[in-house]
Amino acid sequence: MKRLCSFFTATVTAAFAMSCAAFADLSAVDKAQQTVDGIIGYELEKTGSGNVQEWIDGEITANAGKSSEWFAIALSGSGEYDFSGYRAALEQYISTTEVKSATTRMKNALALLAVGGNRKLADEAAESSVGNQGIMSLIYGLHLLNNGCSCSRYTADMLTDELLSMQFDDGGWAIMGENGDIDVTAMTVQALAPQYDSDDTVHNSVERALAFLSGKQQENGGYVSFGTPNLESAAQVLIAVSSVGLDISDPRFVKNGNDLISGILQYRLEDGSFCHSEGSDTNDTATIQALLSLTAYTIMQNGGQRLYDFPVQKASEPAQTAEETLPPVTVPVETASAAPVTEPESTAVAAQSASYKPAAYCIIGGAALVACIVLFLLKKRRMSNFIAVFIVGGAAAAFVFFTDFRSSEDYYSGTVVHKDNATGTVTMSIRCDTVVGRSDSPYVPADGVILAPTEFEIADGDTAYDILTEAAKRYNLQLQVNGTYIAGIAYLYEYDYGDLSGWIYHVNGDSPFVMCSDYKLSDGDVIEWLYTCELGNDL
């Protein structure tokens, strides 16, 4: 048995090493394509689709207007597929659904252009949205106008000039503040890219932006935003670099031998999906960002168009009504997210040992004893059989020891935590004023107050994340947490009100540039958790 286990381990290790070596020997474009194939394979398995066309006709079409648009844009640039079903569903959704977020309306319009949809609907999205939601609506708007859409209030040159005027001295752009942000800078470069080779002013501006992005790149080829290394920033930079025709071998984007694809691949998981930060689980946003960026790179390398360049087609005749021109497709109207309830994940507050564990140990021990007795009676008394029973029993006991299953009643204690080693107190509140009156969801309080200012004791090393999870337990607040990233509080989730919506936190009136799990609190701090629809620009 030992020889067999050793042989199996050696074989698996050798196979894995050969696989890694073979992948390492691939060209950059082959690595990118192989990774794209892995992402698509992951999505096919997740959705139960037999092939890409089945995925498009099924899951992607079913979620038209709600969550499929980046997939449609990526797939439209990477292969020849039939998007007729998705196109009809998206046109129906746009025609019949009131979408409050300007950037979401424009994202839907971009996806519509990518699949050759009704250009009149894209024009209407541009007319109602460009310039109505800060810099992001200028970026998305320029993409639309670069693709032939019309807007009575802006031309492509006007949007270009306005974006150029917003560039900071450091070469970057941002939604707020006076310093460049990696993601916003990369996305601005993507929108300006069509004028990069033809307009000297744009060219010089983009060169300054590329210098800014180069200076922010880490030694592993990736990027850090708000104090956290993450995939999405590296992905946006790869799209930007590809959009202006640069290769990842450009010395400005190679650090310590690591390029942008190296910076992205460190977040790849074994099943082909991607995580937001190293050590975390699959993240849908990170996975689609990886797909978009690697698709943008392979398109550029194969001599194709930019990721956001779509063939200009003759505008279809305007529809009198949706029913007259579009096939009937049942699409639910946009409402507040109905994401599954997720128990808060916290390691910050010590929990008492779960009461089920002693009983579980007794059951495991009893089962092992019964198994040994059965083996003895059946005269299968070889020592290896008993060892196998002990190994299985030990593994089961270890599983019980290292896990902690609790009911919601156990988790949400409803009690105030008094800390013997308290070093002071902080005050925390949770509000969603920005969405009051915009939804009939029962989870949005009429006054926007989810948690009024409440005092909490802190111990040395307590973070903003620790106090939030403590509040969740005390006041029965639902949390959805990805690692330590707060995706939802009290059934109000990121992206519920557009691509820029979600939860951010302030401490003493400022927005820290670190994750909440890294912000250590001091006596007297005032913490505010706030829901934003415009990445904090509306607070």
pLDDT, residue 399, reads 76
391 and 469 housed in the same domain: no
Strands 479-482 and 485-489 come out as antiparallel
Q: Pick from 236, 168, 244: which is nearest to 203 by CA?
A: 244
Does a structural domain hold residue 260?
A: yes
User: Is residue 133 a part of any domain in this protein?
Assistant: yes
267 within domain boundaries: yes
Judgement on whether residues 116 and 173 belong to the same structural domain of the protein:
yes
339 is a domain residue: no
Instruction: Identify whether residues 273 and 376 lie together within a single domain.
Output: no
Q: Are residues 287 and 381 in the same domain?
A: no
> What is the SS3 assignment for 107?
helix
Interstrand relation of 422-431 and 526-532 (parallel, antiparallel or unpaired): parallel
Tell me which of 311, 338, 369 is where a domain ends: 311
At 497 the three-state DSSP class reads coil
For residue 139, how many other CB atoms are within 10 A of its CB?
A: 21
DSSP strands (E only) in 174-248 = 223-225, 228-230
Torsion of CA 77, 191, 132, 124, to 10 degrees: -40
Q: What is the pLDDT of residue 24?
A: 54
- Provide the number of structural domains found in the chain: 3
Give me the torsion for CA of 44, 48, 53, 54, rounded to 10°: -170
Q: Are residues 380 and 433 in the same domain?
A: no
Q: Cβ of 419: how many Cβ atoms within 10 Å?
A: 14
372 in the same domain as 273: no
Q: Is residue 102 part of a domain?
A: yes
- For residue range 90-135, list pLDDT tens digits in order: 999 999 998 878 888 999 999 999 999 999 999 999 999 998 878 9
Residue 498 and residue 470 in contact, taking contact as beta carbons nearer than 8 Å: no
Residue 174 lies in a domain: yes
Between CA 120 and CA 19 the distance in angstroms is 49
Are 212 and 501 in contact, with CB atoms under 8 Å apart?
no
- Last residue within a domain, chosen from 276, 311, 346: 311
pLDDT per residue of the chain (539 residues) written in tens, 0 to 9: 445 445 444 443 444 344 444 455 478 889 999 999 999 999 999 999 999 999 999 999 999 998 899 999 999 987 789 999 999 999 999 999 988 788 889 999 999 999 999 999 999 999 999 988 789 999 999 999 999 999 999 999 999 999 999 999 999 999 877 889 999 999 999 999 999 999 999 999 999 999 999 999 999 999 998 778 999 999 999 999 999 999 999 999 999 999 999 999 999 999 999 998 888 888 888 999 999 999 999 999 988 789 999 875 433 333 333 333 333 333 333 333 333 333 333 333 333 334 567 777 788 888 888 888 888 888 787 888 888 888 888 888 887 776 655 444 444 455 676 788 899 999 999 999 999 988 778 889 999 999 999 999 999 999 999 999 999 988 889 998 876 778 899 999 887 887 778 899 999 988 876 778 888 999 999 999 999 987 777 78
The tokens for 196 are 């990069």
Beta strand 492-493 with 485-489 is antiparallel
Q: Are residues 306 and 426 in the same domain?
A: no
110 and 232: one domain?
Answer: yes
The three-class DSSP label of residue 255 is: strand
241 and 177 within one domain: yes
Helix, strand or coil for residue 126? helix
Residue 432 belongs to what domain range?
Answer: 412-532
Give the pTM.
Answer: 0.66
pLDDT score of 279? 84
Q: Residue 494 corresponds to which tokens in the numbers above?
A: 């990121």
Whether residue 224 is contained in a domain is answered as yes
Which of 405, 421, 439 is the endpoint of a domain? 405
Rounded CA separation 344/356 (Å): 20
Do residues 209 and 168 lie in contact, with contact meaning Cβ atoms separated by under 8 Å?
Answer: no
Residues 391 and 258 reside in one and the same domain? no
- Identify the DSSP state of 178: S
Radius of gyration of the chain (CA): 27
305 with 380, same domain: the answer is: no
Same domain as 426, residue 524: yes
Distance CA 470, CA 419 (A): 12
Asked if residues 428 and 467 have their Cβ atoms less than 8 Å apart, the reply is yes
Residue 174: CATH number of its domain: 1.50.10.10
CATH number at residue 494: 2.170.130.30
Whether 37 is in a domain gets the answer: yes
